[in-house]
Structure 1
């Protein structure tokens, strides 16, 4: 009989040592799993200096895990890059944020077969570098020089990107659909936009406590201001002077009517007139870009926003100076009017105001009522925060978080970006009355200049808090919208 070497696991104990038990396969697997877990905790899954894949930028967006269209890498890469740049330029013109533009470019190029790309967005320019191995690289740049209100067009482009990522649209069809979206008329004619300006001012004056006469004055003055702004725009006047002229006209008309006793709340009439002049969309986009890691783009948009606020303040100040020089009596800016209507009426007013804002921003018809519902929810959250005594600064920020969260849920469900719903719904949070009162104190009551400056800083804090709250709400809603994004892509594939 042939001798075999002893098995160390079954060898009898020697020197008084205890017998070793055999190790089962289950224990071996558990030990290996424990070692892998310990290695992850200590070292991490990737080396600390490993580069981040550009497709990883799609994580958390509606375009995560794009479906690469079969057929190999596109041999005509230049045509695909031109389409991606045209898409990015269109989104910027319609008011999209830098992160949304970047994720759209990455998703579209990845879905159409281009992998070795880099995207750089700097304020008004978009650059794409395509550098495959052993081939001549291609670098393209596009500069955005004009903007327009067209949230319906932005929603259409968003849906186009979703369809491309889902694998249901090829490049040629995508080019045709993008050209069709650009050349399609806006959903609302100019006369309806002009009327919406007046309706918003009238109902918002009612929300602030103004009587029907004050609402009528705000309605007529805002229609006049809208026509004036359109006329000045045709004369190629810069936006800064257009905004300053409009705020001057609104304020001076209110002061004039106050002098002749035709209104008892001129400050509220002014607030109703200047809220639509505030650059809400640019402000939200600038805060969003800063948070998402686009400091240069955020700085450019924030500077544009500050200039617009400066134009508003300058127009109000000039109106006050002209009024004081012509003998107009001073206004009691500390006067707080009680609510003129019941709560259910105010809720209806808020819904009408948000719908009017949506019309001025050229939102699609199907998004008007959902956007109004989000605005009403934000208003109720604002009232609840005020009831709890959270303060004039924290309450709008909390309401903005609610609006940002609901806006992402509603927008993704309706096939649109979050900004399209969030911006019209959040305009009611901006402190127009605080801006007016602070500017009045700075201009007329020189002895209270510190009080006026403090009011302007408080208004700035409220504005930034509201913008940051919208971005925070959007971020908090991302884990809740993963199933919505996948459902949307499945619907696109079925089409």
Structure 2
């Protein structure tokens, strides 16, 4: 009996360690639950239920009604997103589920993955985020000077956030500092004789900051009926966004004090040539963001193409009568479709394609426009509301795209059969009947 309990504890511990990597990488609670249950099932442990909150993972195992339950809890801390590690963990789980690895081998491989650190030097991440800022500036019609300033701003923001994180300063203050750096740099540039559009510099910085917010995971949790985790993630994302707003507002105040005008909103012309440059900028920004998140190089190329096409689709629909939120929703649905199909081709979780691809679509310009109008004594609430709707549309569109893509990958699916739960990461198998008690939201119904 003692040996059996030890086996159960080791299996639960393995599942919790896998879940920790997934949750800290931005995976939805439904994906984390399904993956942890699949791991315990592959280890021979049945009748397991999972509980996921924003900071805790819990697994319960009770083999029968007359036996005591085994419960293990693991605290999940904030850590940098590493899609390279996520991909390796996903491969470990898939090998375990498919029977190509046993529990001990999976534990050893997982320990190596999480203990070896990142695959790229930290300075390359800073440069990649700088390229992301420059790419965003390109999508807004920025010239070489604007793109250079956006590159400098994004690099400065990243180095500042790394330094503040090393001092254990909360994320809110890191976001405030980032927004302040972007806007103050734009104020300085606008105060010089240089012919520069400051709104493009600030917008690029805002998008770089927004790209690290877990909007997709939050919306996936809300849609998949995980209210506790969804609420916590939405609060975290909202607080981070408020930090950006506070920082940019501070920069605008500095501009007003120095009598520097920062209310030029022109994102650039919309000619065919400009559309091509805009799509190229989006592809560069998406690929650079994926590289900065340690995604495998094979995924970076895919992300570049998906991000560029999505930006073109978004502009085409937003330029009509639908507006920015609907344009973002259509483009995000396409991203969901493409990531579902392409993720298996390049052997990476769909999450590693989805999040970088939507980065160029994040509503940085609308946020800046609304703030600048408010600072100028005008009504900027409609623009801020549009930004919020666009962010929600992006996350919801991705999940819808995964629902719509399933018939493409499930040609043998019986007409009228229930669709499998959409997963952005985790083993590509259906839930086992023995674990039918773990339904989305059941563990958080209270």
Bin the TM-score by the shorter chain: 0.7 to 0.9
**SS, match of residue 261 in structure 2:** coil
CA shift in 2, pair 1:172/1:439, >3 Å: same
CA shift in 2, pair 1:224/1:334, >3 Å: closer
**Which residue of structure 1 lines up, in the alignment, with residue 58 of structure 2?**
127
**Which residue of structure 2 lines up, in the alignment, with residue 24 of structure 1?**
none
CA shift in 2, pair 1:281/1:165, >3 Å: farther
**SS, match of residue 335 in structure 1:** coil
Q: Give distance in 2, aligned partners of 1:458 and 1:171.
A: 48
**Which residue of structure 1 lines up, in the alignment, with residue 409 of structure 2?**
481
**SS, match of residue 115 in structure 1:** coil
**Which residue of structure 2 lines up, in the alignment, with residue 310 of structure 1?**
242
Q: How far has the Cα of 1:478 moved from its partner?
A: 2.3
Give the TM-score of the pair, scaled to structure 1. Answer: 0.79
**Which residue of structure 1 lines up, in the alignment, with residue 138 of structure 2?**
206
**Which residue of structure 2 lines up, in the alignment, with residue 373 of structure 1?**
305
CA shift in 2, pair 1:401/1:314, >3 Å: same
Q: C-alpha deviations, 1:270-295, integer Å up to 9, x for none?
A: 11112110155511100001111111
8 Å CA contact retained: 1:188, 1:359:
no
**Which residue of structure 2 lines up, in the alignment, with residue 472 of structure 1?**
400
Mapped pair 1:415 → 2:347: yes
- Select 1:273's aligned residue among 192, 205, 210: 205
**Which residue of structure 2 lines up, in the alignment, with residue 220 of structure 1?**
152
Q: How far has the Cα of 1:163 moved from its partner?
A: 1.1
**Which residue of structure 2 lines up, in the alignment, with residue 33 of structure 1?**
none
**SS, match of residue 393 in structure 1:** helix
- Select 1:237's aligned residue among 149, 169, 178: 169
More displaced, 256-265 or 170-179? 256-265
Superposed counterparts of 1:235-384, under 5 Å? 235-279=167-211, 281-325=213-257, 327-338=258-269, 342-384=274-316
Mapped pair 1:86 → 2:14: no
Find the structure with the greater CA-based Rg.
1
- Select 2:123's aligned residue among 180, 183, 191: 191
**Which residue of structure 1 lines up, in the alignment, with residue 93 of structure 2?**
161
8 Å CA contact retained: 2:263, 2:372:
no
Unaligned runs of 5+ in 1: 1-72, 491-495
8 Å CA contact retained: 1:279, 1:308:
no
**SS, match of residue 126 in structure 1:** strand
The Cα RMSD (Å) is: 2.2
**Which residue of structure 1 lines up, in the alignment, with residue 437 of structure 2?**
none
- Select 1:457's aligned residue among 349, 373, 385: 385
Q: Give distance in 1, aligned partners of 2:265 and 2:18.
A: 49
- Select 1:98's aligned residue among 24, 29, 37: 29
Q: Give distance in 1, aligned partners of 2:266 and 2:22.
A: 44
Unaligned runs of 5+ in 2: 413-422, 430-446
CA shift in 2, pair 1:428/1:312, >3 Å: same
Superposed counterparts of 1:6-85, under 5 Å? 76-85=7-16
Q: Give distance in 1, aligned partners of 2:242 and 2:58.
A: 32
Q: C-alpha deviations, 1:333-356, integer Å up to 9, x for none?
A: 343532595444433322211111
